[in-house]
Structure formats: structure tokens, C-alpha cells
Amino acid sequence: MATSKQLQFIANDAVALAVREGLSATPRRLPCWLLYDAIGSDLFEQITELPEYYLTRTERGILERYAGEILQQAGPSLTLVELGAGTASKTCILIEELLQRQSRVLFYPIDVSPSALDEAVRQLGRQFPALRVNPIAADYTGGVHALSRISGRKLVLYIGSSIGNFDIPDAIRLLRHIRQTMRPGDALLLGADFAKSPRILLPAYDDAQGVTARFTRNILARLNRELEADFCLDLFRHVALWNRRDSRMEIYLESTTSHAVFIPALDMDLLLEAGERIHIENSYKYTPGMIGELLRQSGFQLEQSWTDYHKWFGVHLARV
């Protein structure tokens, strides 16, 4: 059994390794999971409530409006599973609807964050006494493995548009992996953001209040806290670009002047040019055609899609 001090080192090691690798690469990059420490997770919660960030509220609206249809289409006697459940705040809508159709509902939320799962169990337990919650703390690979041992007809939820943060080949690999744990009759419910005008997309990733800029710059603040780095946050600009050819938003931190940064924990000297960018995240925006193709290449068949009035966001039901 590792002590908490040892665990801290292991956690820091993962950060150190990722930072060393990403910041030595050309072009430089940092993995997007670094965004979500306690402060970053809190800032992301704030992002989901910004007027410009339409994604969360649009998907919630679709689920509210079509929960009945979605469950009808998925089939009778469902067991719910959710990948990357977090605190499962949007899942409540489906759970509430499902409890009106069947007296007992089993829910397996899967997430890497044990604290988010605890929160989900507490909230859901209070809200739905007839719901049985079996949390699984695991990453996607471990979580997907646990999926195959669940009996009964499954509806596997992968909502929130996290699929958009994977490059297409990785997204296909992940969906294929999920598919292998599903049996005929099971269904996948996939949430994905649609491609749309950059007039809508750009502000969603670069809001007027600057919350998103604080969110990305927090990655550097985190490296200052955890690796004793001396990043000066004022020397970095948050940059959000629409890449039409690849149908994705690209997020960077851009150094505004030529300057040096030292990371003691890695014994690493970093020389950044004026205008040099560190890549943080891609967020793919799917056309309906791309969704069908993604699912087909992953071994699924798209059965039905639901969207909002503006066709900004899509929720898709697929079968093996």
C-alpha cells in the first residue's frame, strides 16, 4: 500500500512526464487533462454556464425534450451505463424518465474522478430512492473493460461531446473498444457538437468575460504550483482558432514575447519565441455525415439522431 506522500509523487510523476514530453516537442503541446485540477474543474463548471458556451445547455435541452423518445428507441428493461459520468448532472433527465417506465433502474457511472462519483452517488441517492447506483472509478480502458461484465440490456451513454476531444482515428479506436463490450440489443447514446459558423464557435471558446482564458492559463499556474515553474501568466495569450479543413476548434497558449521559463522539478529550461504557441486541445465539430461515418467505421449503425432548433448539437443512438 502506497502512502499518501508516495501517491503524491506518483501523481506528480505523471504530470512531470507529460510536461517534459509535451514541452520538448515541436510544435510544443500540453495534454488537455492537465486543465482539470481542482481550480480548473471549477473554472470549467463556470464555462458551462457562460452565455457563449452553448454546448452544455443545448445538449441538456435535447435530453429534456426527447428523453421519452430516446428511451423508447433504446428498448425495454434498460440498465444505464455512463462513460465519463462526472457528477452525472445531465443524466438525471434520462434517469427520471426511465423510472417512470420501469420500477427498478440500475446505473453504472464510470469516471476517473472518485470525488465526482461520490458526489453523483450522494445526489442521485437523495433524488431517486428507487435507483441503484454502482459507481466504477476507472479510466476509459478500465471502465470499458468493466462494461462487459454488466448483464441485461445496456444503454451506454457517452454524452457531453468528449468524443470531440479525440483525433478521428483515436475516436474510432475508443468506440470500437466500447462496441466490443456490447451485445446485440444494447445501444450507444453519443453526444457530439455539430460543425457551425465560426461566429458561434469562436466566442464559445473565447468568452467576453475571459473565463476560458483563465481556464487555459490555469494549466501554467498549475505547473508553477506543482513543478515550481516560473511561468509568468501575463506573458501568455489564450488563442482559439477554427480549423475549417479539419473541422475542429484548436486551443493554444501563445507567448506574447520572446522569453525564458525554468521548470526546477524537470531541470528544464524553456526558450519561447514571440508568438510561439503551446497546443492545448482540439475540439472536433462533426457534420451529420461525419457522425454516420465515425459510427460505421467503429462497427455501429446509426439508428436515430436528435438535435435542437438551430442544429447546433446532436445526440445519436447507435447499435452494434
Answer for which of 87, 255, 283, 298 binds ligand TRP (CB under 6 A) is 283
Interface stretch with ligand TRP, choices 23-31, 80-88, 110-118, 275-283 (CB under 6 A): 275-283
**314 near ligand TRP (CB under 6 A):** no
Subset of 25-54 contacting ligand TRP (CB under 6 A): 35, 47
Of 40 and 135, CB closest to ligand TRP: 40
Of 79 and 161, CB closest to ligand TRP: 161
Of 79 and 283, CB closest to ligand TRP: 283
Least separation in angstroms between residue 244's CB and ligand TRP is: 17
**205 near ligand TRP (CB under 6 A):** yes
The answer to whether the CB of 124 falls within 8 A of the CB of 94 is no
CB closest to ligand TRP, residue no = 283
CA angle 194, 197, 200 (to 5 degrees): 90
Answer for which of 46, 89, 113, 165 binds ligand TRP (CB under 6 A) is 165
Least separation in angstroms between residue 41's CB and ligand TRP is: 11
Chain centroid to Cα 317, Å, comes to 19
Of 92 and 280, CB closest to ligand TRP: 280
Of 181 and 212, CB closest to ligand TRP: 212
Interface stretch with ligand TRP, choices 88-96, 97-105, 112-120, 279-287 (CB under 6 A): 279-287
**92 near ligand TRP (CB under 6 A):** no
Interface stretch with ligand TRP, choices 208-216, 265-273, 291-299, 301-309 (CB under 6 A): 208-216
**55 near ligand TRP (CB under 6 A):** yes
Least separation in angstroms between residue 307's CB and ligand TRP is: 17
Exposed, middle or buried by CB within 10 Å (0-12, 13-18, 19+), for 304?
middle
Least separation in angstroms between residue 235's CB and ligand TRP is: 19
**59 near ligand TRP (CB under 6 A):** no
Binding site for ligand TRP (CB under 6 A): 35, 47, 55, 164-165, 205, 212, 215-216, 251, 280-281, 283
